[in-house]
Amino acid sequence: MNKMVNLKINGIPVTVPEGTTILQAARQAHIEIPTLCFLKDVSRVGSCRMCVVEATGARGLVAACVYPVAEGMEVRTNTDKCRQSRKMTLELILSKHKKKCLSCERNRSCELQRLSLGYDVDEDRFKGEDFNLPPDESTPYIIRDNDKCINCMRCVAACKKQHVNAIGPIGRGFNVHIGSAFDRPLSESPCVGCGQCIVDCPVGALSEKSNIDEVWEALSDSTKKVIFFTAPSVRATLGEAFRMPVGTNVEGKMVAAIRRLNPHAVFNMDVTADLTIMEEASELINRIKTNKPMPMFTSCCPAWVKFVEQTYPEMIPNLSTCKSPQQMFGALLKTYWCEKNGVDPKNLYVVSVIPCTAKKYECGREEMKGDVDAAITTRELARMIKTAGIKFAELEDEEFDNPFAIATGAGAIFGATGGVMEAALRTAAHMMDGSFEVLDFFAVRGSNPIKEATYLVAGHTIRVAVASGLDNARKIVESIKSGEKKYDFVEIMSCPGGCVNGGGQPTRSDAVRNSVELKEARAKALYTADCGNEIRRSADSPAMDLLYNDYLGFPNSHKAHEILHTTYKPNKII
């Protein structure tokens, strides 16, 4: 048991475990100390100096985010000395910051802006040298504008945490900036497009490459039929962009809002999440029976797939050949739906609403190009809804359009880490043993970075693992390569916590990020929806009966492979 330490913060007695920082102790006393470089579970380096406080025993101001408490310490967080230091820090940061707030997508959700208002700064007190660096727009998913960067290093910490290390500080002193090795474009780095750097950035230096304008253009084109479909996790996060509590399921309002953008139809991607399970579960059973490369890795996360192609090309045969639910839906719409409705696929414009920036990259993959015309993030959809003047919170719930409004099976839980695994186990176990009726696989749930479980099904021992975050993915792969671990099926999500914490989800203030467990609250909304469904197994979904009986034949059929499966190739970064 940790030794307890007694101290006072602004005269308030506080007792905390030894090793606690002043910042953590202050929160226990309901005192908020401002931060910029600090972000819980991501970055704690004490470099920005916004969190400076006075503490007994220290010769000067100390950074509260890294300075440990001590017995009998007295801390003062709001002295004139602290306030003046923070104000000067902000004014120095602003001296080399592109101050185009009205045209910045982080306007009114920017930590620098919020703190500057709170400390009544003079934004022009110091005049710095303008770099005038052109934004890096070399990838299809991220824009980096270093003239807005404040060098807090949170994006670097996020990338390092992912074990990708695509970016880092370049130069020294006043000329330091963030970039890829040798100042190459981001497209020539190991970046996989997960977008964790975007959601961790406190300002507008990083953003997704927006597809909003081209979607508006398609909606205005009378020759186009525009179809939207939404990923499972979006229903659990979109409400946050409209000041709703974290974890609010806004599926009905989301459908109503999109319908008011006037597309031809709004469909539910849960359908192709279930379809992915049907194909993936069948593929897994086939691999088990035919001794094909094992374990089989899930392939629904494009950042993970790119990571394998770049870092572990020798493991490509272990990837499931299934397209992701996004690409499956696009492919189905441009084949099955167009045939049934007499529509020329050239006149169909398909828009996916997704929690992920890497999905933008996936749309353009040569193997799947044309399936989906535009992928917009949860943030982009929220901006479109606001631009259209739609009062989101006041909307009555509406339902998805047919034929993809019919009840789905386990697709809803795809947005949480372990959800794909659980959905697959529900169906694969039933396919192998018709009397296997277990629907809840609790061992693969939760936000733990790595989860393992073993199940006995029809005489077969099925060893599974689930990992979220690419650092944990690397640990799993290395343990397999070394022979330390043996699995049959492995689910990997590149974003910690899964799609609910994707790089395209609503950006939240540091106050929320540091005090609320976003991953858990958002995932809970998806599992609650799943528990409330009458049908909880993909194989039992009427949508699967419709698609296979009417068009595809059976899982892993020749036609299913033509439309729903893909290939991968090594993609080594120089």
The full set of domain ranges for the chain reads: 4-78, 124-206, 213-564
Active-site position among 111, 240, 251, 280: 280
Summarize the chain as % helix, strand, coil (round to 5).
40, 15, 45
Residue 167: pLDDT over 80: yes
pLDDT of 33 reads: 97
pLDDT of 161 reads: 95
- The reply to whether 320 belongs to the active site is yes
Active-site position among 111, 279, 362, 380: 362
pLDDT-derived band of residue 458, with 50, 70 and 90 as boundaries? confident
Residue pointed to by tokens 């602004």: 10
- The reply to whether 300 belongs to the active site is yes
In whole angstroms, what is the distance from residue 385 CA to residue 255 CA? 11
- The reply to whether 366 belongs to the active site is no
Residue 21: pLDDT over 90: yes
Handedness of CA 50, 54, 55, 58 (dihedral sign): positive
In whole angstroms, what is the distance from residue 251 CA to residue 269 CA? 12
Active-site position among 240, 491, 499, 538: 499
Residue 1: pLDDT over 70: no
In whole angstroms, what is the distance from residue 469 CA to residue 451 CA? 12
Residue 572: pLDDT over 90: no
pLDDT of 131 reads: 62
H helix runs in 8-141, sequence order:
22-28, 80-94, 111-118
Residue pointed to by tokens 């189905």: 332
In whole angstroms, what is the distance from residue 51 CA to residue 222 CA? 55
pLDDT-derived band of residue 385, with 50, 70 and 90 as boundaries? very high
Instruction: Summarize the confidence of residues 209-227 as an average pLDDT.
Output: 98
In whole angstroms, what is the distance from residue 384 CA to residue 390 CA? 9
Q: Is 343 exposed, middle or buried, given 0-12, 13-18 or 19+ CB atoms closer than 10 A?
A: middle
CB atoms within 10 A of CB 452: 16
pLDDT of 174 reads: 76
Matching CATH number, 124-206, of 3.40.228.10, 3.40.640.10, 3.30.70.20, 3.40.50.10420? 3.30.70.20
Share of the chain above pLDDT 70, in %: 99
Active-site position among 161, 323, 359, 360: 359
**Alpha-carbon torsion angle 468, 514, 122, 87, nearest 10:** -120
Active-site position among 111, 283, 309, 491: 283
pLDDT-derived band of residue 447, with 50, 70 and 90 as boundaries? confident
74-76 sheet: strands from edge to edge: 12-17, 4-9, 74-76, 52-55, 62-63
Q: What are residue 456's phi and psi, to 5 degrees?
A: -105, 115
According to DSSP, residue 68 is labeled B
Comparing CA positions, the residue from 559, 281, 240, 520 lying closest to residue 410 is 281
Structural contact between residues 192 and 494, judged by C-beta atoms closer than 8 angstroms: yes
115: left (phi over 0), alpha (psi -120 to 50) or beta: alpha
pLDDT-derived band of residue 217, with 50, 70 and 90 as boundaries? very high
- The reply to whether 367 belongs to the active site is yes
- Residue 496: both structure tokens together: 């910690």
Residue 406: pLDDT over 80: no
In whole angstroms, what is the distance from residue 208 CA to residue 229 CA? 19
Active-site position among 85, 180, 282, 320: 320
- The reply to whether 499 belongs to the active site is yes
pLDDT of 135 reads: 94
pLDDT of 574 reads: 54
Instruction: Summarize the confidence of residues 80-100 as an average pLDDT.
Output: 95
Residue 14: pLDDT over 60: yes
The CA radius of gyration of the chain, in Å to the nearest whole number, is 25
Residue 442: pLDDT over 90: yes
Active-site position among 314, 367, 399, 478: 367
Instruction: Summarize the confidence of residues 270-294 as an average pLDDT.
Output: 94
Pairing of strands 74-76, 52-55: antiparallel
Residue pointed to by tokens 């698609």: 547
pLDDT tens for 244-267 read 999 999 999 999 999 999 999 999
Matching CATH number, 213-564, of 3.40.50.720, 3.40.50.300, 3.40.50.1780, 3.90.1150.10? 3.40.50.1780
Q: What own/partner pairs with CB < 8 Å and gap ≥ 24 does 27-34 have?
A: 27/514, 27/515, 31/77, 32/511, 33/64, 33/77, 34/86, 34/115, 34/118
Residue 398: pLDDT over 60: yes
pLDDT tens for 35-62 read 999 999 999 999 999 999 999 999 999 9
Matching CATH number, 4-78, of 3.40.50.620, 3.40.50.300, 3.10.20.740, 3.40.50.2000? 3.10.20.740
pLDDT of 2 reads: 78
Active-site position among 51, 155, 300, 495: 300
Q: What are residue 437's phi and psi, to 5 degrees?
A: -115, 5
Instruction: Summarize the confidence of residues 542-563 as an average pLDDT.
Output: 96
Half-sphere exposure (Cβ direction) of 53: Cα atoms closer than 13 Å: 30
Mean of all residue pLDDT scores within the chain: 95
pLDDT-derived band of residue 227, with 50, 70 and 90 as boundaries? very high
pLDDT-derived band of residue 501, with 50, 70 and 90 as boundaries? very high
